Structure 1
Amino acid sequence: MQQLTVKEINTLVNGEVVGEYTGTITGLERIDKAGVGELTFIGNLKFSKKWDTSEASVAIVYEGIKIDPGAGKAFIKVKNPDLAMAQVLEVYLPDSPHFETDIHPTAVIDESARVGKGCRIGANTYVGKGVILGEGVTLYPNVSVFDHTSIGDHTTVWSGTVIRERSEIGKHCIFHANVSIGADGFGYRPSEQGLTKIPHIGHVVIGNHVEIGANSCVDRGKFSATVLGDGCKIDNLVQIGHNSVLGRFCIMAGNSGLAGSVTLGDGVVIGGSASIKDHTTIHSGATVGAGSGVMNDVGPGKTVVGYPACDSRDMLKQWVALRKLGKS
């Protein structure tokens, strides 16, 4: 693991050093578990109260912190500790799992597939007919990429992921374990036979720098495409229904879900366990609070909470009124 001095870390994050620690940083850890020689961070006042009992030698802190580091310890003051810590974590990132050979002999790759320079394909991975892999793509063991799918340069796909036929994946994406891309959408209609399945003949289009967490699903479109724009970040256990369209840099937290044909503008944030009704539009910059149920369109920059969701200020007034009612 990399070991840096306080001066080297400060140069990396462009901060201001307060106090003195002359050793090297041997690791990174949370404030209540860090030991001597380790670096932690203090992002707000709540965590600053734990510094007196912490054994950490150095902390990256917000620039307005009111406490001193103490003897033999140091603070690195920055404007945004979270972003600074992300830079340091990149340096201390452990090596990825090792490939003994770039393409494992048990991988099955159709002869019509095009595999770019520097690709790595793990054991028991399947690459189907007409698949195109850009340069530096990594497919870990037990990945399935079905026919006529394209995957852009330097995308990483972790084990258990299934990418169905005709999907279009951008560059520098990360799909974590057991992601499902391009499964049939959920569509049935009552008939004399019971429930008739609605065929889904569309596909999935995913932009660049998209990250999708473990066990999340992006269903194919009924007619055209389900789309995730550049820079979207999807947590674990998220459902994105058929023909939904996400703009750029949207965030969806764990256990949230979009029904079919939902549209998200740029920079929309969906909180954990939130549910969005089909054919709903959530405009750019809007936020949906955790656990909310969105039944109607949400305007640009609005924040909605509750079930059914409404403007956060109105919902807070309702909660206050209910609390008072219980005391009357």
Structure 2
Amino acid sequence: MGYSIKEINTLLKGELIGNTTVQIEGPEEIKKAQNNHITFIGSKKYEKFWGDSKASAAFVSENSTIDPGENRAFIKVKNVDLAMAELLELFNPSQPIFDTEIHPSAVIHETAKIGKGCKIGANCYIGKDVELGSEVILYPNVCVFDETVIGNNTVIWSGTVVRERCVIGSHCIFHINVSIGADGFGYRPSADGRGLVKIPQIGNVIIGNYVEIGANSCVDRAKFSSTIIGDGCKIDNLVQIAHNCVMGRSCIMAGHSGLAGSVTLGDGVIIGGSASIKDHVTIHSGATVGAGSGVMNDVEAGKTVLGYPAQDARDMLKEWVAVRRFLKNQ
């Protein structure tokens, strides 16, 4: 698969600077790119690498002032990252192929309703009264338990388990080994003080549309009512979302982060990698939690917090500077 630089520019509607006769066969980062690659220069600090790069072309921002050079080209765009995302879609390899729409080894309960155009891989299990919308894809070894509903065009990769009574929206993507609807973590000391009593978790999980959940992440069912993930949320690998959490629309959670029970996130909240959120905390819309932080109290809308325990990011940075100076002077 290859494209001329003019074909790529036509598709992405940028401003072509210079020209190259080389067929572009894929994107690559600037230091690894070869002659048949297009790369991207997202900010001024990366312009210094262009001279040594073997790439024939690059996406650059509109304020870039460097020259592409002989038989090389730039495509100027408003947002380099979004342009690269469009290009990656262009070169995206096809997904694994199903020889049959429903593999003969799949076990499907007679009461299940399977929508038009669904694809169900080998060794999948679909339980009693499950409903799949149209064009749902279940890759091999997916389990969907009783009374679960899954919306149109949702893709679920191998090893994922969706427990009973969950409600999944349309156009979702669940990557390998995701767990949806397992029991929440609830125990109390027994009356005699000699053991622990498990608290039944009788709720479910509700997931909105266009939600993506990374490999080996877990969303636990509610103790009662529902654990809720709003439309458009993006969840990285190895993320824990505990029972009765409620996430608003378009939240982001990076890898190894976790929400304890009954946490509430507003819309557009960003949780950095390895951050931990205490139970019953509310993080209001537009707030950001820095990587590795431990949030013990509610966070105001639009605020950025950092540290362990987390506090206003500017105050935390000042504190770190003061501690560094103190230690340096000892």
- Give the TM-score normalised by structure 2: 0.98
Q: Deviations over 1:170-215 (max 9, x none)?
A: 0000000000000000110011350111100000000000000000
Any idea what SS the aligned residue of 1:297 has?
coil
Equivalent position of 1:12 in the other structure: 11
Aligned residue number for residue 327 of structure 1? 328
**What is aligned with 1:35?**
34
Correspondence 1:295-314 to 2 at 5 A = 295-314=296-315
Unaligned runs of 5+ in 1: none
**Runs in 1 of length 4+ with deviation above 3 angstroms?**
none
Partner of 1:214: 215
Name the aligned partner's letter for residue 134 of structure 1. Answer: G
1:254-292 Cα shifts (integer Å, max 9, x gaps):
000000000000000000000000000000000000000
Equivalent position amino acid for 2:125 in 1: Y
Q: Residue in 2 aligned with 1:187?
A: 186
Q: Which residue of 2 aligns with 1:167?
A: 166
User: Which structure 2 segments of 5+ residues have no match?
Assistant: none
Instruction: Report the CA distance between 1:324 and its aligned residue.
Output: 1.6
Matches of 1:208 and 1:230 in 2, distance apart? Answer: 5
How do 1:75-154 residues align onto structure 2 when only pairs under 5 Å count? 75-154=74-153
Aligned length: 327
Q: Secondary structure at the match of 1:77?
A: strand
Match of 1:13, as an amino acid?
Answer: L
Aligned to 1:281: 282
- Distance in 2, Cα, partners of 1:305 & 1:163: 34
Give the deviation of 1:66 after TM superposition: 2.5
Compute the TM-score of the two structures, normalised by the length of structure 1. 0.98
Q: CA deviation at 1:23?
A: 3.0
* 2:228 corresponding residue in structure 1: 227
C-alpha displacement at 1:46, in angstroms?
2.8
> Who is 1:203 aligned against?
204
| Aligned-partner SS, 1:141 | coil
3-state DSSP of counterpart to 1:60: strand
Name the counterpart of 2:241. 240
Q: CA deviation at 1:307?
A: 0.1
2-structure distance, mates of 1:327, 1:105: 69
CA drift at 1:45: 2.2
Q: Secondary structure at the match of 1:25?
A: coil
Which amino acid is 1:238 matched to?
V
Amino acid at match of 2:315: D
Q: Distance in 2 between matches of 1:24 and 1:134?
A: 41
Q: Is the 8 A contact 2:122 2:141 kept in 1?
A: yes
Aligned to 2:265: 264
For residues 268 and 20 of structure 1, what CA distance do their matches in structure 2 show?
A: 42
- State the distance in 2 between where 1:20 and 1:269 align: 40
Whether the aligned pair in 1 keeps the contact of 2:124 and 2:140 (CA below 8 Å) is yes
The 2-side partners of 1:33 and 1:315 are apart by 37
Counterparts of 1:155 and 1:8, CA distance in 2: 32
Amino acid at match of 1:57: S
Which deviations, in whole Å up to 9, do the C-alpha atoms of 1:134-189 show, x marking residues without a partner?
00000000000000001000000000000000000000000000000000001100
Q: CA deviation at 1:325?
A: 1.1
2:71 aligned with 1:72, yes or no? yes
Greater alpha carbon shift after TM alignment, 14-23 vs 308-317: 14-23
Whole-angstrom distance in 2 between the partners of 1:154 and 1:227: 20
Question: How far apart are the structure 2 equivalents of 1:29 and 1:318?
Answer: 40
- Over the matched positions of the two proteins, sequence identity in percent amounts to 69
Q: Which amino acid aligns with 1:153?
A: N
8 Å CA contact 2:22–2:35 kept in 1: the answer is no
Deviation at 1:79, TM superposition (A): 1.1
User: In the alignment, what sits opposite 1:60?
Assistant: 59
Amino acid of the structure 2 residue aligned with 1:67:
I
Cα distance in structure 2, aligned partners of 1:203 and 1:267: 23
User: Counterpart of 1:49 in 2: which secondary structure?
Assistant: helix
C-alpha separation in 2, matches of 1:270 and 1:184: 23
**Whole-angstrom distance in 2 between the partners of 1:207 and 1:7:** 39
Paired with 1:74 and 1:249, the residues of 2 have a C-alpha distance of 36
Q: Secondary structure at the match of 1:322?
A: helix
Distance 1:108 1:116 in 2: 16
- 1:26-79: CA deviation from partner (whole Å, max 9, x where unpaired): 112111111112111111123222111111111111111221111000000111
Deviates more, 1:258-267 or 1:16-25: 16-25
Root mean square deviation, CA, Å: 0.9
SS at match of 1:91: helix
Deviations 1:69-94 (A, max 9, x none): 11000000111100011111111100
| Aligned equivalents of 1:87, 1:168: Cα separation in 2 | 31
**1:276-312 deviations in Å (ceiling 9; x for gaps):** 0000000000000000000000000000000000001
The Cα of 1:227 is off from its aligned counterpart by 0.3
- Residue type of the alignment partner of 2:195: G
